[in-house]
Amino acid sequence: MADIIGESGAWSEISRDLLRRGIRVSNPDGIKPMLIHLRETFKPSVEKMTTEAADRIKLVETIITTLRRETGFFRGIFNWFLILRCRFSIYRITSDRDRHIEVLAENIKKLEGLQNSPELAGAQAEHAVIDQLRHLPHDCIVFNDVRLRATRYIRFNGVALQSAQIDHLVLSPAGIFVIETKEWSKSFVESGDYHDPFDQVARAAYLCYVTAKQFGKVQVRSIISCAGHLPAKPPDAKVKVLRIDELAGYISWFKERALSPELFSQLKQFLGNYMSAH
């Protein structure tokens, strides 16, 4: 099995957002079970918080009643301030209860919105790609969510280029494979509201080639892993389009050991420096 470094960039964004909300889900497949759990526990949780808040308020109100019964001019002035503090405590208890209930409802709404979202579909596709790439030989290394950056601007098709985000990058003895994962619906492709995926992966592959050649001659191949629909491939595009389940077989087909062990080690260290912090 290949060595896997890093995780899906699309899933990292989703999981970080969920974690900020107090929701911990380990992978895209955990969204549905977590949503079911939150739905099932919402009513009992609300009832528990309501009961606990009512008990605390009752206790504070008992203190207020006791303070009001105490006599004496100075004692009355002092107790008046204590009663104000008690009333503020009741306000805080009520506000905390309402806010916690609101957060529970918002979390359910968030997961409901995620369930059939393009963002989750993209994360699921990237996870499927990573699972497929695990089946590569042990002498392959899979880097996920690579943020590659050159030390200077370079030209690609007449456009300045310095950085690129790469969904998956495979380092094998045969060279480097740059993989862009797309899980697009037919309607999204027909809308035309996207950056050309063939240009995107070609730009990333060229940047990878330019930055890696400082170590020696490196063959860089570009792949689009398609889990949905794509626009028509341009005639001059040097990009391989594959289904997710074809990835490992295609990469393994390249048997030539084009990279020396020393060059392989240098590239491994170099590419590892551009891993996103998850």
> Would you say residue 158 has pLDDT above 90?
no
State the pTM of this model.
0.86
Which of 60-74, 110-124, 125-139 has the weakest average pLDDT? 60-74
Cα gap 75→157, rounded to integer Å: 84
Which has the closest alpha carbon to 97: 55, 39, 50?
Answer: 50
Q: Which two tokens stand for residue 66?
A: 């006791």
188-244: pLDDT as tens digits? 999 988 889 999 999 999 999 999 999 999 999 999 999 989 999 989 889 999 999
> Would you say residue 278 has pLDDT above 80?
no
Domain ranges of the chain: 9-117, 119-272
Q: Are 179 and 208 in contact (CB under 8 A)?
A: no
> Would you say residue 34 has pLDDT above 70?
yes
> Would you say residue 76 has pLDDT above 90?
no
pLDDT at 277: 57
What's the CATH architecture for 119-272?
3-Layer(aba) Sandwich (3.40)
> Would you say residue 276 has pLDDT above 80?
no
> Would you say residue 131 has pLDDT above 70?
yes
6-29: pLDDT as tens digits? 999 999 999 999 999 999 999 999
